């Protein structure tokens, strides 16, 4: 939901900046992935805000990768950025579950929902590209809320997991028609 707004607003700025920095699709996506993985132990050890801050930086790097790939019409680089971004995002509910074991079932449900929405996006692409109705920016917002409001992590994770499952169902239904 938020990804489309961010893309429209930031792509015109990110593409020239990525060109100036020499950041291209696939290598930049790899850097974003490594950064995201580096934040997982922080979040898992209870340094939730630090882990989420690293995730936000990694998402910015992914945005550079995606903007560069879209401008170059490099579909393979764009798909790679989508896959690496989705995998790295799925690690954060797992890390939050380790940091807050009481919310582990809710975090597992969120990972389940994320998996469903990603699978539906790749199984039924829109305009030849995976379309995430619940995107990375939405999940980052949820993770930030979960870190800032740890007592609400369970209900937030269940609600967003359910939203992901509904979004996956809608995507599959639309794709089959």
Which pLDDT tens digit goes with each residue over 43-61?
999 998 899 899 989 988 8
pLDDT band at 101 (very low <50, low <70, confident <90, very high): very high
23: left (phi over 0), alpha (psi -120 to 50) or beta: beta
CB 55 within 8 Å of CB 32: no
Neighbours of 85 (CB within 10 A): 27
pLDDT score recorded for residue 22: 64
- Please state, rounded to an integer, the average pLDDT across all residues of the chain: 82
Which residues, including other chains, have CB under 8 Å from residue 141's CB and lie 6 or more apart? 2
55 neighbors 6 (Cβ within 8 angstroms):
no
What number is the average pLDDT over the span 76-91? 83
16: left (phi over 0), alpha (psi -120 to 50) or beta: alpha
Please state the domain extents for the chain: 2-176
Give the least confident one: 19-23, 37-41, 167-171. 19-23
pLDDT above 90: residue 82:
no
Closest CA to 65 of 39, 33, 89: 33
The pLDDT assigned to 10 comes to: 61
1.10.10.60, 1.20.120.1760, 1.10.287.70, 1.10.287.130: CATH of 2-176: 1.20.120.1760
Average pLDDT over residues 14-28: 68
């Amino acid at each position: 939901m938020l990804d489309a707004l961010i893309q429209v607003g930031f792509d015109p700025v990110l593409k020239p900046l990525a060109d100036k920095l020499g950041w291209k699709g696939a290598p930049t996506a790899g850097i974003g992935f490594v950064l995201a993985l580096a934040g997982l132990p922080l979040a898992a050890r209870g340094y939730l805000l630090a882990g989420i801050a690293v995730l936000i930086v990694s998402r910015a790097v992914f945005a550079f990768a995606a903007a560069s790939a879209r401008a170059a019409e490099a579909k393979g680089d764009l798909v790679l950025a989508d896959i690496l971004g989705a995998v790295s995002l799925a690690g954060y509910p797992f890390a939050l579950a380790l940091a807050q074991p009481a919310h582990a079932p809710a975090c597992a449900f969120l990972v389940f929902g994320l998996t469903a929405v990603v699978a539906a996006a790749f199984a039924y692409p829109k305009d030849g590209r995976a379309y995430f109705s619940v995107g990375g920016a939405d999940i980052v917002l949820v993770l930030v809320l979960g870190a800032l409001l740890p007592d609400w992590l369970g209900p937030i994770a269940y609600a967003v997991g359910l939203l992901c499952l509904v979004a996956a169902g809608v995507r599959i239904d639309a794709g089959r028609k």
